Structure 1
Amino acid sequence: MKTILTALLAATVISAAHAQSLPGGFVYLRDIDPGIIQDIRYATSNNFVGRPLAGYGAGECVVKREVGLRLKAVQQELAAQGLSLKMFDCYRPARASLDMVKWSQNGYETAAERRYNPKIPKSELFRLGYIASRSQHSTGAALDLTLVDLKADNSARYDPSKAYADCTAPVEARLPEGSVDMGTGYDCTDTKGHTAAPSINPDQRAWRKRLVAAMAKQGFVNYAKEWWHFSLPGAGAAAYDFPIPPRTK
């Protein structure tokens, strides 16, 4: 009898794990390439909203399978150069985009929020197109990412009690991201965040070009107003709203 009960319990656990599986065609990037660094910011308080967004039940990069396989190919090329991709956002539940819109219209703005929007009031972000009620991310075919120099000291960590400079400030003054200096922080709402911004220095421009070139080899297209945003044309059309569950494998 004890053996039967043990078997039933094991079957229940397996069934629960399967119940948290992803919709068809979606995968955890960690299952495709565990070497790609992940810092899924919207699952934490380290983002422009200052809290986890709706639908982010885990800090896991979820993508369409084809997207994951192409990212693996990018990573293999970068690894030979002592570099790695670092994922900031992948699949984004549709409810998270609506959460962003609601946040932008809540009527107040903190100093921490202004780090990401130094020149534009957050109440204007939706009207100006920096925040949208529907995001390409919800298709599973769009990504926010950067590069990490694996030979560098990437040990600095975000301290929520520290008063960092805004996202356009020199890298040593803005909040640490454990990555190369791309000229602005991630999610920086400023013209300096445009991929071809003339206001960045030659080294920063070289890093951006290196990232764009590596991604382009696998068919990814950069969004000109955000150096960190890439998409894979044709890999996703419909938007999804399933929450991101913890990976159980």
Structure 2
Amino acid sequence: MASASAHAQKLPAGFVYLRDIDPTIIQDIRYAGSNNFVGRPLRGYQAAECVVKREVGALLKSVQEELALQSLSLKMFDCYRPVRAVADMVTWSRDGRETPAQKRYNPSFSKVDLFRLGYIAERSGHSTGAALDLTLVDLKADNSATFDSSKDYGDCIANVNLRAPEGSVDMGTGYDCSDVRSHTSAKSITADQRRWRQKLVLVMARRGFVNYSKEWWHFSLPGAGGQAYDFPITPRK
């Protein structure tokens, strides 16, 4: 406990590193690396760590305990997001360039339309520490495949065997896929994919988390937000 407190003191009051709450929750913080729609780390992501409000972390621990009984785990893609990272996304969307690797994430339209269509927000709930991007991992499956930036993967709505590997269950699209198939209740996915989405929504809803209808991976905890923050995500020490 003393160690956890020492870590928490490096963050603003009320924020914690999720690893200090539950180290069994898998983390793949995508904006801290190159495996994301921008293709590089976003501003403010100095470490691949999930930072959340303390009450959010406690509820995630409860979710994880339930999933563990089914040989499943949460996997976190993004948690607290600095305001400067949101601004970085806005700048990227307006730079007039779109590489094939970036296009994998929005195969049906231009990136300048991401904000208008509601796939990216200029003011993100992530910056309050009360919004999350996550998925489920089947711990009995082979999750060893890793992302290789030199490979030419299929786009985010392609068959799971053609998409970039995410080491998680097949939800029908990749993470951060800006497409109607990413809508949580999309009809154009298989029955198995729909069941996985429903399982994720239900297990999160039992702790009060609300899903965003256009993104099967995005959840927020009403009442736990508040002001937006801009402190960088730094390594735990």
Q: TM-score, normalised by structure 2?
A: 0.96
Aligned length: 232
Per the alignment, residue 142 of structure 1 pairs with 131
SS in 1 for 2:73: strand
Gaps in structure 1 of 5+ consecutive residues: 1-16
Distance 1:190 1:144 in 2: 16
Distance 2:118 2:179 in 1: 12
Tell me which of 34, 37, 40 is aligned to 1:51: 40
SS in 2 for 1:52: coil
What is the identity, as a one-letter code, of the residue corresponding to 1:163? D
How far residue 19 of structure 1 moved from its aligned partner, in angstroms, is 11
Per the alignment, residue 13 of structure 1 pairs with none
Q: Deviations over 1:179-228 (max 9, x none)?
A: 00000000000000000000000000000000001101111000010000
Q: What RMSD in Å do the two structures reach over aligned CA positions?
A: 1.2
Distance 1:141 1:36 in 2: 17
What is the identity, as a one-letter code, of the residue corresponding to 1:213? L
What is the identity, as a one-letter code, of the residue corresponding to 2:227? A
Per the alignment, residue 92 of structure 2 pairs with 103
Distance 1:96 1:78 in 2: 31
Per the alignment, residue 69 of structure 2 pairs with 80
> CA 1:75–1:228 in structure 2 vs 1: closer, same or farther (change >3 Å)?
same
Within a 5 Å distance, the mapping from 1:48-197 to structure 2 comes to 48-197=37-186
1:223 aligns with 2:181: no
Within a 5 Å distance, the mapping from 1:195-210 to structure 2 comes to 195-210=184-199
Distance 2:20 2:7 in 1: 15
Per the alignment, residue 40 of structure 1 pairs with 29
Q: Deviations over 1:131-176 (max 9, x none)?
A: 2221000000000000000000000000101000000001000000
What is the identity, as a one-letter code, of the residue corresponding to 1:31? D
Equivalent pair of 2:119/2:214 in contact (CA under 8 Å):
no
Equivalent pair of 2:138/2:169 in contact (CA under 8 Å):
yes
Equivalent pair of 1:40/1:61 in contact (CA under 8 Å):
yes
Runs of 4+ in 1 over 4 A off after TM superposition: 17-20
Per the alignment, residue 24 of structure 1 pairs with 13
Identify which range, 20-29 or 89-98, moves more after superposition: 20-29
Distance 1:161 1:63 in 2: 32
Equivalent pair of 1:29/1:63 in contact (CA under 8 Å):
yes
SS in 1 for 2:168: coil
State percent identity of aligned pairs.
74
Distance 1:156 1:206 in 2: 23
Equivalent pair of 2:64/2:73 in contact (CA under 8 Å):
yes
SS in 2 for 1:246: coil
SS in 2 for 1:69: helix
How far residue 20 of structure 1 moved from its aligned partner, in angstroms, is 7.6
What is the identity, as a one-letter code, of the residue corresponding to 1:216? A
Larger radius of gyration: 1
